[in-house]
A and B are shown apart, each in its own frame.
Chain A
Amino acid sequence: MQGGELLERPKEYIIEAEVGQLEVDTFEIKKGSRKAFSTKRDIFPETGPKEHHKTVCFRELAVFSPCDETFRKSAQELNRMLWRKEGRMVQARTIANLVYREGEAIAACIENKAKTILKCHQFTDEGVPTGETSVYGLLADESVVSQERVSQAGKEVNALLPKDRQIDVEAWQGTCENPAQVKALISVDDVLCKKQKKSGRKKGSSSPKKKERVKNTVAHIQSRKGETYTLTTATIAQMMIVLLAFLLSNGLMILPGQIVFFTDGAEDLLLPIQRIFAFLPFKLILDWYHLDKKCQQRLSMAMKGKEKRNTVLQELLAWLWIGKVDRAIGYLRSLNPDDIKDAEHIEKLIGYFSRNVSFIPCYALRQKLGLRVSSNPVEKANDLLVSNRQKHNGMSWSASGSNSLATLTNVRRNDEHMQWLLRHDIRFTFPQQKRAKSAA
């Protein structure tokens, strides 16, 4: 570049790298009052005042090690690994800030990606279709397990049941999806962590009655080929939009067959699913583990004594396992009032069954057919993405901190971390290695 005044600024640009903390000279060429060239602007990535630029290798260590251990331990290990001396040490707070910033940037990137995908497929930003949607519902009803297989499985189930409990196999025909012909199997759940107390609460003032929680929504997506991908968002509403975008961009929506959701039956999960995916037939299945747990909890509060509770629970679960919700409700209504401690909980349980009756399948038949009866993949994902790191004694989180950490852990789990570190982009597809394995 010719002409202009050359200004040299020694050691002005600082780079945190795995090779060390680099203090680099920068140059500026000024033509009059105009900056014609600046190393800080035209060669190096721009940084804030007093901010150090961080290289990919450094970020790989600093951003992803807190996914497994505390910020303080991560800082100690990083300083040991990089042999940082006093005065050049990376502080735990710096790592925490970096994690929050990267997590928020990833969430924003995914949100933008989702918006673009939805627009390309003629959906609004809120996931409402504006174009033709009949293509997504192709062969939704035909992609079920064959009648012969269901009949055979039904016979085998009935062979083990007393006469008054036999299942009506014909009534369940057409309700069991063929896992090789589904669009995707999706398990969704919320995971809660303790919320950080607001600063400024006066000493001696009463603590809030209800424990405040930070929420992360996790979804586990499994394709018909067995490929898996997990998503995390701060809210269920956001999750449904991102989920829809993922299914569209990976070509899962145009596959013939149904989408099958597995949930714990929480109303705040059901409503957004029904709202976003209303334009196509989908199946919702209530997770057996949660149904069992719900019955246990309610009956513990409703019945007099452990023995009575266990007797009722056993009978109730036996009806629910074969999908006879009306019989389960009838059984609850026929309980001896003398055995009941609090009838309100019985009514609440009946209400829960009534609300979720259409999501309670014949679990016995599904199990016989080798179909999934629970949302355990997302429960596992909850542990891996949130609970293992964030749910320990004495830990509390800000919403931003918890969501960011979950987002980063998820990016690493989906094997997208290098793509993010190098190009600030998320692949938003099933992990490559697993794809290759399943193709082989």
Chain B
Amino acid sequence: MKMQIIANIKNEDDSELTEPTTIEVDIPEVEAFTGPEVFDEVFDHYERGVIEARNGVVEKATEKYLSAVAKKKRSQSSMCKEENSLKDQKSIS
């Protein structure tokens, strides 16, 4: 059995900021919970796998998010520079 975790970062207008991040993790079959004596061991297998996957997917999604931040800021600052140089040219002429 698998658990799929998808992290999707969206803008206010519901458009996607980055492509979704997906991770799949193996989890124990429902039938593995045969009784109270195995519950802790089976659930531990589930919990460790899921926490690791959760952290992994959030890490990847955050990397994409920050890359988008960096990209946006870079383009903004280059646009600002272009505007400033145009202003300078105008003032000279």
A-to-B contact residues, CB < 8 Å: 17-19, 41-46, 55-57, 421-423
Is there an interface contact between A43 and B47, defined as CB atoms closer than 8 Å?
Answer: no
Chain B residues within 8 Å of A17, by CB: 43, 47
Nearest CB of A to B33, in Å: 6
Is there an interface contact between A19 and B51, defined as CB atoms closer than 8 Å?
Answer: yes
Name the one of A43, A57, A421 contacting B51, with C-beta atoms under 8 angstroms. A57
Nearest CB of A to B29, in Å: 14
Q: Known pairs A55-B47, A421-B44. 11 more at Cβ < 8 A?
A: A17-B43, A19-B47, A19-B54, A43-B35, A43-B36, A46-B36, A55-B40, A55-B44, A56-B40, A56-B41, A57-B44
Residue of A nearest to B36 (CB): A45
Chain A residues within 8 Å of B54, by CB: 19
Nearest CB of A to B43, in Å: 6
For chain B, residues 26 to 58, give those with C-beta under 8 angstroms from any C-beta of chain A. Answer: 33, 35-36, 39-41, 43-44, 47-48, 50-51, 54
Nearest CB of B to A55, in Å: 6
A-B pairs under 8 A by CB, number: 40
Bound-complex Cα distance A236 to B39 (A):
37
Q: Which of B35, B39, B40, B50 has the most CB of A within 10 A?
A: B40
- The dominant DSSP class at the B interface is helix
Residue of A nearest to B50 (CB): A19
Is there an interface contact between A422 and B39, defined as CB atoms closer than 8 Å?
Answer: no
Chain A residues within 8 Å of B43, by CB: 17, 55-56
Is there an interface contact between A44 and B41, defined as CB atoms closer than 8 Å?
Answer: no
Bound-complex Cα distance A42 to B39 (A):
10
Bound-complex Cα distance A353 to B54 (A):
65
Is there an interface contact between A56 and B36, defined as CB atoms closer than 8 Å?
Answer: no
Is there an interface contact between B40 and A422, defined as CB atoms closer than 8 Å?
Answer: yes
Residue of B nearest to A423 (CB): B41
Nearest CB of A to B34, in Å: 8
